[in-house]
Amino acid sequence: MFPRVYIVVYLCKTTMEKKKHMERL
């Protein structure tokens, strides 16, 4: 029962973190 906005924000944060890690590697 989570709002879509919360899910979108969470996904965005996770993707940004993954991108940063990929760039460093």
Structure tokens at 12: 């965005």
Chain centroid to CA 22 = 13
Q: The tokens 């919360």 sit on which residue?
A: 6
Range(s) of the domain holding residue 22 = 1-25
Q: What number of residues does the chain have?
A: 25
**How many alpha carbons lie under 13 Å from residue 7 in its C-beta half-sphere?**
4
The pLDDT tens digits of the residues spanning 1-25 come to 678 999 999 999 999 999 888 887 7
CA–CA gap between residue 24 and residue 21 (Å, rounded): 5
The per-residue pLDDT for 23 is 82
**Number of domains the chain is built from:** 1
pTM above 0.85, yes or no: no
